[in-house]
Structure 1
Amino acid sequence: MQHLRDLYSGEWLKTCTVEYFREVKDRSSKHQDNWNYSDFVNFPKQHGFEIKDGYILYSSAFSEDCCCRMRPQEFQQEWLFFQLISCVVQESHGPILAREELICHGHQLNTGNLNRALTRWHKYLEKCHDEDPEATTMKFLEANQILELAKQVVIANLADKPNRLFVPQAKGVRHDPDEEKDEQALCYMILGETLSAVLVHAMKKCNVKLPGWEPDDEGGWGPLAHVYKKMQKGGWCPRSQATIKGQLGRNATLLYVTTCAHESNRHNIHGDQFPQQRCNSRECGFIEAEYNEAGVHQKYELSHSANCPSPKECRLVGPDEEDILDILESSEDQRKGPFPLMRIVEREGKKGIKVEQWTERTPFATISHVWSQGLGNRTERKIHACQLEMIETWVKTAFGDEDYKGHLFWIDTFAIPQNKGKEERRARLKQRAIGLIHHIFSKAKHCIIIDRHLLATSKSIHDCRTIGATLLACGWMMRLWTLQEAFTETASKSFNDLWRFTGEEDVVLLSMAGMVQRKVDHNLMVRRKADHDPTESEREAPQQPITHGRHHTRGALLMASAWRATRYRTTRNLREETLALATLLGVPISQDPTESAGRAPNGLTESNGLPATNGSSRPEASRGRKLEELMKDFWESICREDDLRNSIPPGMIFLPGKRLPFPGFGWAPLTWMSGEDEAYPYPLGTPEHPTTLKEDRGLVVKYPGFLLYPTRRKLGKIITVSKPFEFSVNRGLDEWYRVKAANQKIQQNDDSLGAEGETEEDVRLIAQDLRSRMENNEAVKIAIILSRPRPVEVTGEIGLLVELCPEDAYGSRGEPSPSEQKFLYCRIIRRVEVSRLSVGRVENCLCDEEESMTPGYGPIVSRFDKFEQEGIAGVQLHDLQEWCVDGYHHQQTPKSSMPPSPKPEDTASPPDHDGLFGRLKRAMTWSLPQMGEA
């Protein structure tokens, strides 16, 4: 890991010392100096290891006579470190780095020479591509496949569970028996990510495009237990842990670097004086401005700048609030129009604030900050004079004026009135001021970000990679209101300049800068034409607007990016979530002033009787029905907007977490700040078709899927998905699929009930209701909605197990109209993962009862035997099948929300002794008219 020191600036980066298992004499002359693709692939078998389903490593009883057997850790180091580097980073004559160059002091692994070797390898690939593009393409492919194999093995055998959350425990030094193993895994993960980043950079530089061979899983070789345990031992806030893990995903390099960069950040590590039980994985109860440097609790205090000469004598300064109110009152436009700006002026030798009205083409800067760090004010529109002087310096620096003329700026502490004593005028103008935020930030020439930790560390930061890593886990990046402040075209230009400035043309620096850039962009809703590379910089490719594409796609990509950037952010008052989202997306604000918490964006909840969450209780306890209604109103507002009404991302139906309990909205997440991860293959980002919200019925989407026809006994097991099940979709029984419950979050030592915990209870109640209906001989028809056609074999792809509702299509109106015949109305039972099974696996697998296949059966007959034992058949639907998706209304009592039961004569279930074929024949008589054009 020593090569990281050349990539990040500052003394904060600490690299682990990884033990070198002294060379094992494992190669005879037969294998000496062979470092090609076949050598890497065959290495496990030669040394007594097998790679089975899921890339799990197993020790076998056999190894080649010329190769000695190794312990698992010795084998992993030899294969995933030495062999990986030698077989990938090479020139025509062989590996660039000798084994001795990868070892230091005779007992430690050393990557200090890696960056030099990677630069040389990159130049070699460019030269080869200029001379022989076809042959070099195969070099790229072989290197890519070596890295893919190593990556999957590392993830399957060495990575920690990505959804496991550690919570700080009682103090005390404890020996971790796995520490050495964790450090070894960290080394292999960071190595693999570095090699992959440079390979991708080289392919882009050579313009080698290989659709289908490019990674589509957001990269990363982790996550790694070493960093998770490091956070736990360091006293990290559970909420910060969950946020960083969610934002950075499996990227082991950024997880490690970001954790090191924030060891002194009080936003993430609150200190010994703060009660840890006030934080959980969903919420953080820490407010920096309420604790002094010694960690002693105090009332919320306005902060001073670090350079304040005399904090006790520092006066408060602010604008005349009546001037603010008058400007806001001068227009009735809730989304555009004039707004107040501030100019710093001298009055009797002291600095003051002059309020001016914005007009078109007036240059100004916006200030984006975190209220909990002390730059906000609960009671009046004032800050300390030292802070005002620092703002003046920042504004001057942003405009780059040698002769400062007092440029205009906007900050919410001054510009958004507070609702004092429920005064109607202030409440009305506060709502207008909040509604103008999107307009204000889009018109700004500069956006200045203020974060305590960034200010404290910025003097020692000299490169874009370190700035990005520091930005990713700072308090500013975790707040909901700051997202819409950052999401403007003009503000993003500064980030574009940041990535262009690397200081030199080192391909490793550029490759790793691109890795950081993608994560920062992802969390700030920035979309670009291509990942950062030198050719992009030469062309000065502009930031790609998120609204690039077809009409419905533009809005869907905007909302998808908003969800991804919002899910790990927080706000002190949950009632303001929809207000912030509406402002972010530029839609009319549906809630009146009394429905918000009575504070400015980024601010702290005023004493107005509304509950403010502080981590001491379950978040849902403070939500109440009102929050559900606000989210419902938000979606209705989306559908009233001409630019967004058909742009609800269809992938929303696959998101985890609790859903809204209203008819027609059972597909919609209860909150966007769920702290949940999107599942593979990330359908939220591929909105190919427009959607329609049908009143009281659901969201109409187009996705492939299967109609399922199980026996009654099998159906009772399927509705809970307590165990995986498999089914075939054709009469040749040569195409099989496996379905299992989607992964859920694991929260160690955390008594708070997360969103997935609530969802599991909903699933149990839904299954209980379905079983009850089956016992009453009511028909229960089920299907699966896929997120894309033909799921892959290795990784399960997200889907939905749904109940079909034929009565909704017909209702009391008789036959459906031709436009409705292709609809399949359904209700979500639960999220599932679907994978395709290889024919060989089907022929050799165990049946549901975990008994071997009938002895003496050949592979062909085994399929037919398996078909009978599984007791389920699937009918494949058209790739553009239309589904009208809803949920079980008021899921706590799903039975009360069920539609009227169908007539017995239409739905009476056949006796179980009829078997699968009889049930399939009867079920098809219902499904065929419904499939329509599909």
Structure 2
Amino acid sequence: MLSCQLESLRDTFTAIFDEISNEERQMAEHKTIKYVKDEQDNGEPWFWIDVLCLPRDWERKMTLLNQLHTIYKEATAVLIWDRNLLERPEPAEKNYIEMTVRLNTGQWSRRLWTLPEAVLARRLYVAFKSGHVALNDMNKAYESAKNNVKDDYHFIWKAGRLFTSSITEIRCQMHTQELGPSESDLEPGLPVQRARKAIQFREASHPDDQTIVLASVLGLDMSRFVNIQPVQAARASVKFPQSQKSESVATKRMVEFLNALDETPGLGIPSGLIFLPQPKLPQDGYGWAPETWMHKQRYTYPLFRPLKKTGYMMPHGLHVEFPGLILHCPTPVISQKDFWIPVAKLSINWVKGEIDGAGTNVDHLRDHLKPSDEHCIILNAEKTRERWEAGLFVKRKGTLACGKVWRVTICRVWVRLETRTSKLQKLKADFQKDVLAQYFGERVDSQRWCIEESLLEVTKL
């Protein structure tokens, strides 16, 4: 970093510091003096830059990474440097919406390592070529565009939203003292679920870093993940492909991260993770978990609902509680990608299922289905509706000592209620001709399942 850039940062932080109220400034100065009480105070604010302040020594680097949560949360202000915005002059107030769009489409909003800044910092400022703007002022422009029909940006006010809802909710929980009651009136809990939604669209050159960033956001001990490094042979003379090293470390760190969530009170593992698509973790006992949380929302909206529930680890997999369909049939009947199941409750409803990932080659899938297996579909919603929802097609593997049913995943499926009259008439006629030629479903509203790893060879067809 050039000296002129450091001088620019110093001037910017000095100006920001002067904008803070006298009371808050005194509190900030008190904290600063406690850290640098033996140093001479020249009246300029102290600031921290990750690229300069991150030690090369491994032990000190690990110590600092473990303090990132405190650094960002306790900072008086955090300054956003985005290359695109640094080339532009300080905008007029009427152009704040445009600058928000540029910020949301810039590198800062996409990079993985800037997520802790977004969710932990009390005050965020955006740097421009000349001057800076507080994100609170940009948010006021957003509120004005939303509520004022005469505002130039009223009809595109949604473009001025600073953060996704998940990041906004995390910020409200982190800094409730600085927020009004209307902003902090959020559904309690769900920190892991919000962090997962916040990270899904981020980008990283090293996928194994995502657990470190998530640990920073959730306040976990990051040394558990930072200490997981490539094997010594890879560090020394034996040369492995970089992707192979990264995948190995990423898998180990994700496994450790899931263990940390399971062990930490108030967190827990979102049970809806079992419905996410491939790729899954190639680790015994963890094959139900996605390989990455940066999956860019490759699923439908209803999948958010089960994320409000948490599962817990068992020796054979993840224990979850969901409704489901217990399927009865003397012989496997899946002969194509989509199939229909009559389900008995108070009346007969027909549910359509569609195999996700198996394509049209169902012969390989049928090899995994035997008449002696008890087939089930785990549902993520209490009621099956007309829209598609993700589910899991599983078979029984055994019964655990605690009485819970042990299941192994066959494949992921999509499920919805069949409502077409012509199709229902044909299904009923075919069912009356040969009752034994298709599945018959029995719905259970609440069932405990122990989900083991997916059969990867099936879903890769």
2:204 aligned with 1:571, yes or no? yes
Distance 1:661 1:500, change over 3 A: same
**2:192 alignment partner in structure 1:** 559
For the Cα contact (< 8 Å) 1:438–1:485, is it kept in 2?
no
Query: Which residue does the alignment assign to 1:694?
Result: 314
Residue 803 (structure 1) aligned with residue 395 (structure 2): yes
Q: Does 1:680 align with 2:288?
A: no
TM-score, normalised to structure 1, is 0.40
1:499 corresponds, among 132, 139, 156, to: 139
Q: Give yes or no for contact 1:786–1:800 (8 Å, CA) kept in 2.
A: yes
* Cα separation, 2, equivalents of 1:656 and 1:691: 18
* Shift in CA distance, 792/841, structure 1 to aligned 2, threshold 3 Å: farther
Instruction: Tell me by how many angstroms 1:681 deviates.
Output: 0.7
Structure 1 contact 740–833 (Cα < 8 Å) conserved: yes
Letter in 2 for 1:837: E
Q: Does 1:520 align with 2:163?
A: yes
For 1:391, the equivalent position in structure 2 comes to 9
Per-residue deviation at 1:631?
A: 1.3
CA distance in structure 1 between the aligned counterparts of 2:103 and 2:433, rounded to whole angstroms: 54
Displacement after TM superposition at 1:387 (Å) = 0.5
Q: CA deviation at 1:643?
A: 2.8
Instruction: Quickly say closer, same or farther: Cα 1:469–1:830, change in 2 above 3 A.
Output: farther
Q: Within 5 Å, which residues of 2 pair with 1:34-183?
A: none
Aligned with residue 654 of structure 1, among 245, 268, 275 = 275
Per-residue CA distance 1:652-699 (angstroms, 9 max, x = gap): 11112311133321211111223342323133x55444422112x121
CA distance 1:492–1:830, shift in 2 (3 Å): farther
Contact 2:78 2:121 in 1 (8 A): no
Partner of 2:351: 737
Within 2, Cα distance between the matches of 1:435 and 1:513?
A: 41
Q: Deviations over 1:618-660 (max 9, x none)?
A: x6x554434322211121122222232xx21111111123111
Cα pair distance change 1:413/1:769, threshold 3 Å: same
Q: Any idea what the Cα deviations from partners look like across 1:303-335, whole Å, max 9, x if unmatched?
A: xxxxxxxxxxxxxxxxxxxxxxxxxxxxxxxxx
Confirm or deny: 8 A CA contact 1:447 1:486 kept in the other structure: no
Identify which of 242, 263, 275 aligns with 1:640: 263
Where do 5+ consecutive residues of structure 1 fail to align?
1-382, 419-425, 530-538, 598-605, 614-618, 743-758, 811-815, 848-860, 895-934
Shift of 1:564: 2.0
| Residue of structure 2 equivalent to 1:207 | none
| Structure 2 letter corresponding to 1:571 | A
Query: In the alignment, residue 881 of structure 1 is paired with which amino acid?
Result: Q
Query: CA contact under 8 A between 2:271 and 2:320: conserved in structure 1?
Result: yes
Alpha-carbon displacement from aligned partner over 1:443-482 (angstroms, at most 9, x marks no partner): 0121111011122245456444323321222111111111
Distance 1:399 1:835, change over 3 A: same
Compute the displacement of 1:882 (Å).
1.4
Pick one of 663, 667, 670 that aligns with 2:288: 667
Q: Gapped runs of 5+ residues in structure 2?
A: 23-41, 126-133, 173-178
The amino acid across from 1:568 in the alignment is F
User: Residues 741 and 892 from structure 1, CA distance in 2 versus in 1: closer, same or farther, beyond 3 angstroms?
Assistant: closer
* Structure 1 or 2: more strand by fraction: 2
Judge conservation of contact 1:528–1:544 (CA < 8 Å) in 2. no
Name the residue aligned to 1:468: 100
Equivalent positions of 1:721-760 (< 5 A) are 722-730=336-344, 734-742=348-356
Q: Distance in 1 between matches of 2:136 and 2:239?
A: 41
Asked whether the equivalents of residues 727 and 872 of structure 1 are also in contact (C-alpha less than 8 Å), the reply is: yes
Residues 377-456 of structure 1: matches in 2 within 5 Å? 383-401=1-19, 405-418=43-56, 426-456=57-87
Q: 1:567 Cα shift? A: 2.2
The change in CA–CA distance for 1:760 and 1:703 in structure 2 (over 3 A counts) is same
What is the alpha-carbon distance in structure 1 between the residues aligned to residue 75 and residue 43 of structure 2? 17
Q: Equivalents in 2 of 1:711, 1:565: separation in Å?
A: 46
**RCO higher in structure (CA 8 A, sep ≥6):** 2
- The answer to whether the 8 A contact 2:139-2:161 is kept is no
CA distance in 2, matches of 1:451, 1:609: 39
Q: Distance in 2 between matches of 1:652 and 1:527?
A: 20
- Cα distance change, pair 484–527 in 1 and its aligned pair in 2 (3 A): closer
Summarize deviations over 1:707-757 as a string: whole Å, max 9, x none.
112342404x3xxxx421111112886311111134xxxxxxxxxxxxxxx
Aligned to 1:771: 367
1:429 is displaced (CA, Å) by 0.6
The alignment yields a C-alpha RMSD, in angstroms, of 3.8
Give distance in 1, aligned partners of 2:365 and 2:339. Answer: 21
Which structure has the larger Rg over C-alpha atoms?
A: 1
Shift of residue 700, structure 1, vs aligned partner: 1.5
- CA distance 1:611–1:474, change in 2 (3 Å): farther
Q: In the aligned structure 2, how far is the partner of 1:830 from the partner of 1:540?
A: 46
Q: Secondary structure, in 3 states, of the residue corresponding to 2:408?
A: strand
Contact 1:437–1:485 (Cα < 8 Å) also in 2: no
Q: 1:637 to 1:479 in 2, by over 3 A?
A: same
Alpha-carbon contact 1:471-1:477 (below 8 Å) kept = yes
Structure 2 CA distance for partners of 1:688 and 1:714, relative to 1, 3 Å: same
Q: 1:326-337 residue pairs with structure 2 within 5 A?
A: none
User: Aligned to 2:108, what secondary structure does the other structure show?
Assistant: helix
